Amino acid sequence: MDDIQFFGNKEKTQDIFFHIFNHLHQNGKQLVLTSDRSPRDLEGMEERLLSRFKWGLSADLQVPDFETRIAILEKKMYADGIELPREVVEFVAYNINTNIRELEAALISLLAQASLNKKDVDLDLAKKIIKNFVKSISREVSIDYIQKTVCDYFSVNVDMLREKTRKRMIVQARQLSMFLAKSYTKNSLKVIGKHFGGRDHSTVIHSCQAVQNLIDTDQEFREAVADIQKKIQMSIS
């Protein structure tokens, strides 16, 4: 039963549901209830109901992350016998990040449009369809966005990029963020440096060279850069 928070202050509804709950529970039935808040935060609810809500397992359901959204799409595609290019699946999963219903609706619309127009499902078609589901999938990549993307990948606090710390992970995240800022934005080296604690343009140049050297010599780092670049590129229509 969805949205039980709406039972609040509805005495007759709560009384009826109390007896239904007891009947089902006594007969060994399982009940699954959803609410936009935990049992202890429900307002206008009778104590006898609240105590029963607390009998079972309470689980906090969050919006699915990127990898989970991909898995959801792949499971749906497998069930329906559908194959789509990996880049299309990733693009849909990246841009539809609200709920599963919208994710599945986007997939259905994409397949329907391809069938009606007798076209293959490709990235260009996906971009056109997804625009109906989100306000805008086109965004100008900012230095702040790049910093957040890099820091999320390496599990680093964004504020640390502006500090003087020489910890290897922080330095690497800072240098890579500068490298990507130079690649994906039109900002000058001076402006890029200002976003990293007021560093000068020579530091930005050195960072870009250091990153390029690592890309050329370190396969693991090269793959990490490719993953981050993919995330950034998927934010650009």
Q: Give the ranges where the chain is alpha helix by DSSP (H).
A: 11-26, 47-53, 66-79, 86-95, 100-116, 123-130, 143-154, 168-184, 189-194, 201-217, 219-233
Q: Are 129 and 110 in contact (CB under 8 A)?
A: yes
Quick one: which of 159, 204, 213, 160 has its CA closest to 182? 204
Q: What is the pLDDT of residues 12-43, one digit of tens each?
A: 999 999 999 999 989 999 999 988 888 888 88
Contacts of 196 (CB under 8 A, 6+ apart): 161, 162, 174, 177, 178, 203, 204
Cα separation, 6 vs 107, whole angstroms: 32
pLDDT, tens digit (0-9, with 9 covering 90-100), for 97-134: 777 888 888 899 888 988 888 888 888 888 888 877 76
Look up tokens 């693991």; give the residue.
220
Give the C-alpha separation, 82 to 80, whole Å: 6
- Within the chain, all domains assigned CATH 1.10.1750.10 are found at 143-233
CATH classification of 143-233 is 1.10.1750.10, yes or no? Answer: yes
pLDDT at 131: 77
Over 50: is that where the pLDDT of 136 sits? no
pLDDT in tens, 175-219: 999 999 999 888 899 999 999 999 999 999 999 999 999 999 999
Distance CA 174, CA 161 (A): 5
Percent of the chain past pLDDT 90, that is, above it, reads: 46
- CA–CA separation, 91 vs 130, rounded Å? 9
Number of C-beta neighbours around residue 165 at 10 A: 12
Global pTM reads 0.50
Alpha carbon of residue 208 to chain centroid: 28
Q: Are 5 and 36 in contact (CB under 8 A)?
A: yes
Total residues found in the chain within this entry:
237
CATH class for the domain made up of 66-130: mainly alpha
How many CB atoms sit inside 10 A of residue 138's CB? 11
How much is the pLDDT for 57? 83
Phi-psi region of 181 (alpha: psi -120 to 50; beta: other; left: phi over 0): alpha
Give the residue range(s) of CATH 1.10.8.60 domains in the chain.
66-130
